[in-house]
Amino acid sequence: MLLVVGLGNPGPGHAQNRHNIGFMAVDEIVRCHDFGAFRARFDGLIAEGKIDGTRVLALKPLTYMNDSGRAVGQAMRYHNLASHDVMVIHDELDLVAGKVKVKTGGGPAGHNGLRSIDAHIGQDYKRVRLGIGHPGDRDRVHGHVLQDFPKADEAWVAKLMEAVAEALPILIKGDDNGFMNKVTVLTRPPRPPKPNPDGGNPPVSTAAPSS
């Protein structure tokens, strides 16, 4: 069994915050892979399903970001999971908006949700880091993460959520690089058509169709 945790803050006022991109990703995973409905448990909301034969428990802690580890620890202990059975999806300031990186272990790098999880289950869990960009000034970080994504970002955010959900089976199999490559391909904008060397429309064939 795998525990997939999306980080965010509860309540409609936070739903579209940059800090809630982990919640958004889990919602899309549940929708894309036809999980059961969310229900309240472990100080959070959980939904269960299967992805390529692996039982997956999706969790959105409702303890607020700074105490996310409490919900994660409860779910992990109840299901007798180890920390390496846990995957946490979260916002990442130090990545360009829309970029995805995967790592196992390491420090919280200033992320209070990760800091709380580290305190409850240790650091040996997988982190799916979703870039939200940095405002460029440390004094603006708090406001940046708690602001909604602007309208101009809605298209790429939706596309990224869909890509993460679609590529998740690759990550569940343990292929971190394959997962990141798949997300990159799925979120890459389409290439513009090559211009005609003559500068006009492509030539039209006048040959009669063969019988």
Q: Which residues are tagged catalytic? A: 19
- How far CA 122 is from CA of 6, 40, 71, 119, 154, in Å, comes to 17, 25, 14, 6, 34
Give the burial class of 47: count Cβ atoms within 10 A of its Cβ; 0-12 exposed, 13-18 middle, 19 or more buried.
buried
The two structure tokens encoding residue 147: 């602001």
Q: For strand 2-6 and strand 54-61, is the pairing parallel, antiparallel, or unpaired?
A: parallel
> Is 68 within 8 Å of 116 (Cβ atoms)?
yes
Q: Which residues contact 105 (CB under 8 A, 6 or more apart)?
A: 123, 124, 125
